[in-house]
Structure 1
Amino acid sequence: MALSDRTNNSHHAQWWRSLDHVSLSCVGALIALGYILMLAASPAVAHRIGASRNMFILKQVVFLALAGAVVIVTSRLTPRMVLRIALIGGVMALGATFMTLIHGMEIKGARRWIALPLMSVQPSEFLKPCFAVVTGWLLNLRYEKTLSNGWRFPGRLVACGVYLVIAALLQAQPDIGMLSVISMVFITQLFIDGLPIIVFGMLVSAALGAFGVAYLVFEHVHSRVQRFLHPDVGDHYQIDTSMRAFGNGGLLGRGPGEGRVKDLLPDAHADFVFSVAGEEYGFVMCLFIIALFTILVFSTLNRLLEEKNPFIILSTSGLITGFGLQAFVNMGSSLHLIPTKGMTLPFISYGGSSALSVALTIGMALALTRHRTKPSRFTTPSSNATTHLTAPSKENHNV
């Protein structure tokens, strides 16, 4: 019996009917593009470092297959199970992020990775989805939990404490890009939670002030901003090469395998994979990729319009904000719209930590935005009776 059949009351059928099919289709298309662009970009990068030609391809096949499985499995969870995973995963990611300061791999002056036998892991990648869900839960507790003295649970205060701990760890690595994304996620959730506009303005001002401090304190931040603002200052090789790639690609691209940017940039398979897409497949492919991310974000937000549960609204808003912002930062850096930042393009760039953390993000968002309804009950008609289909009713899914 087909999963879409309304008379099919199996668990799989109920999951399928309740799912956001538009977002799931976009995820599938992005994973497919990840395979295609990895075939285009990674062999040249592997050859340049003296590795096997197919090393990155084979690893990314495994990473994306696992990512697809994580999306499907996570999307089947209940909101309560999503919260439990976020709490446990958040504590583990927080501990692992702290360990990077002691035993982490130092790359380009930053300690963000932990070396494992087959891959290196960036624990802070998994902080993003876990933080969004935990923060949504803490903010929601203000409405659901009353203390013995009659006061509301200080959810905002506790959430701010969690954020400050994470911010201190990310600043110590340092990872200003990840800190910026998590900060925007938190500010977005506070705004949706009804933070007074004056306080919200103060937070935005504080965030801008913090960026100014980072510009003055961290040399790599200062250098990237200077190179962005002043084309005649510093080394512009990577961004100039990226911009030439888009120009060479034109409308329809030079054709699969005909691009040159992958032979010139060391991170063509990761930070600049969007440039590879622009050169080999052209402006049309770039628009298609942008459209997929845009549709996925807006489809998820559209599911929240009829949602009444504050936990689901706040958590999903945080999850999709982090996802959309990460995509924008990668594509904006490649197009020289913002200062360069080493951030992957979700589901498309090479990277195990990135692929799995993004899959967890989207899987959680799909799980939280499912339309949970009781299964339809088909009444078998008698000889002279008509068929009655009981309308589905909303199922209680409070956390």
Structure 2
Amino acid sequence: MERVFKKLKGDKWIWIIVILLSVWSILAVYSSTGTLAYKEGHGTETYLIKHFTIIFAGLVLMYFSHLLDYRYYAGISKILMIITIPLLLYTLLFTNSVNDANRWVTIPVINQTFQTSDMAKLALITFLARMLTRKQENIKDVKSAFVPIMGSVCVVIILIAIANMSTAIMLFAVSILLLLIGRISVKQIAYVSIAGVFLLTLVVLLGPRRQTYISRVETFMGKGEPDPDKEFQATQAKIAIATGGLFGKGPGNSTQRNLLPHPYSDFIFAIIIEEYGAVGGVVLAAMYLILMFRCIRIVTQSPKAFGALLAAGLGFSLTIQAFGNMAVAVGLGPVTGVPLPLVSMGGTSILFTSVAFGIILSVSRNIEELKQKGQGKLPNDDRKVKDKVIVGEIPAMA
């Protein structure tokens, strides 16, 4: 084990959490895909092998992402943003609707679907961290700093919101948190919050999925006559949780997996509680809380503002998404299509989540290397100057 961890740089606790979540994901997905396999005429092992392959590919991506110096992600984020906005537009305008939403692009040759919002989340958070770092000297200036930063945030979030409101709201919340950490004035953040809520409300009321959004909120709020069809998913998830008890029915013994439409993705947390009990649910939630704690620790130790903002933004994004998924499963929020990071069955979601973990670990690895060299943490007053120098070291990418 020591030999393995010598090759895995960065925060060891994050590596342990990633491995535990990956193993738990394989067990939960294998258990919850029985009905899907029966309907499509495949063996359950088919989905197990496919999911294991994606998890393995994600771990490989995470490993190579954490080896790359996190400062290079400043330049990569700019390239990603240039690709992301046209790709989101293309997804909305030219792709086929699946479940009343245009979220997926089919990759030629391999014929696999690709959810563009997964890349957009990573692109926006890394780009926002880069912009906040580069604009620190005139961060209070509206024209040179505030408008360019918020322009990119608003464009990406609105393009995502048209097809995927839950992801857009979570990403908007992460952006606000990054603005707070990045020393944007409270007054400007208040303006952003008001403008963001107004724009998202317009999408809800006037967008192509307005009926879906309004219906889900009304169902959650209990307005109008009860509709068993609309409440079916939430009801079955509550039954799974209620019958799980304290210690659960045991791995592979879920019954609600045969009734829930998406027990392997959107409602996998309900299946986990049914099989592993409330204890299993608490342990899983604790893993994400520990992850956030370790990310905050990386933020406080990072000598560079860019590294701190990267760890904070990606850490908040993963944690908010995780608890958003859990909240829906236990009936604390309207039904959404947000997966549980690194646990729900998926393709691009797992891969981009793995890259996000890799970037966080890259920041942590840099901190460890500085400590080994005896450089320690730089004073806060030196962060702005040092970050300007670091970004300048990679002119071809920045």
Give the alignment's TM-score, normalised by structure 2: 0.85
CA distance in 2, matches of 1:182, 1:251: 34
- Cα offsets for 1:221-246 (capped at 9, x unmatched): 10111011107533211100000001
Q: Which amino acid aligns with 1:156?
A: F
- 1:100-249 maps to which residues of 2 (within 5 A)? 100-116=91-107, 117-143=110-136, 154-172=144-162, 174-217=163-206, 218-230=210-222, 232-234=225-227, 235-249=230-244
Kindly state the Cα deviation for residue 118 of structure 1 after the two structures are TM-superposed: 4.5
Q: 1:61 to 1:237 in 2, by over 3 A?
A: same
Kindly state the Cα deviation for residue 316 of structure 1 after the two structures are TM-superposed: 2.0
Residue 393, structure 1, aligned to residue 393, structure 2:
no
- 1:1-399 maps to which residues of 2 (within 5 A)? 16=8, 19-116=10-107, 117-143=110-136, 154-172=144-162, 174-217=163-206, 218-230=210-222, 232-234=225-227, 235-370=230-365, 371-373=367-369, 392-394=374-376, 398-399=390-391
Q: Which amino acid aligns with 1:163?
A: V
Kindly state the Cα deviation for residue 3 of structure 1 after the two structures are TM-superposed: 5.7
CA distance in 2, matches of 1:119, 1:286: 32
- Cα offsets for 1:246-303 (capped at 9, x unmatched): 1111011112222111111121111011111011111111111101111001111112
SS in 1 for 2:351: helix
Which residue is 2:380 aligned to?
Answer: none
| Percent of residue pairs bearing the same amino acid type | 22
Which residue is 2:383 aligned to?
Answer: none
- Contact 2:138–2:145 (Cα < 8 Å) also in 1: no
CA distance in 2, matches of 1:24, 1:3: 14
Unpaired runs of 5+ in structure 1?
Answer: 5-11, 377-390
CA distance in 1, matches of 2:205, 2:92: 22
SS in 2 for 1:106: coil
CA distance in 1, matches of 2:91, 2:342: 25
Give the alignment's TM-score, normalised by structure 1: 0.85
Kindly state the Cα deviation for residue 374 of structure 1 after the two structures are TM-superposed: 5.3
- Contact 1:94–1:124 (Cα < 8 Å) also in 2: no
CA distance in 2, matches of 1:207, 1:343: 20
Unpaired runs of 5+ in structure 2?
Answer: 378-385, 392-398
SS in 2 for 1:114: strand
Choose 1 or 2 for highest CA Rg: 1
Between Structure 1 and Structure 2, the one with more helix by share is 2
Q: 1:245 to 1:101 in 2, by over 3 A?
A: same
- Contact 2:302–2:363 (Cα < 8 Å) also in 1: no
State the number of aligned residues: 370
SS in 2 for 1:54: helix
- Contact 1:64–1:355 (Cα < 8 Å) also in 2: yes
Q: Which amino acid aligns with 1:356?
A: L
CA distance in 1, matches of 2:191, 2:370: 45
SS in 2 for 1:319: helix
SS in 1 for 2:344: coil
SS in 1 for 2:33: helix
| CA RMSD after TM alignment | 2.6
- Contact 2:84–2:120 (Cα < 8 Å) also in 1: yes
CA distance in 2, matches of 1:374, 1:176: 41
- Cα offsets for 1:186-206 (capped at 9, x unmatched): 111111122222333343344
Kindly state the Cα deviation for residue 208 of structure 1 after the two structures are TM-superposed: 3.7
Which residue is 2:394 aligned to?
Answer: none
- Contact 1:249–1:281 (Cα < 8 Å) also in 2: yes
- Contact 2:298–2:308 (Cα < 8 Å) also in 1: no
CA distance in 2, matches of 1:265, 1:88: 40
Kindly state the Cα deviation for residue 79 of structure 1 after the two structures are TM-superposed: 2.2
- Cα offsets for 1:116-165 (capped at 9, x unmatched): 3342110110111221111111111113689xxxx899233212121222
After superposing on structure 2, the runs of 4+ consecutive aligned residues of structure 1 that deviate more than 6 Å are none
Q: 1:130 to 1:42 in 2, by over 3 A?
A: same
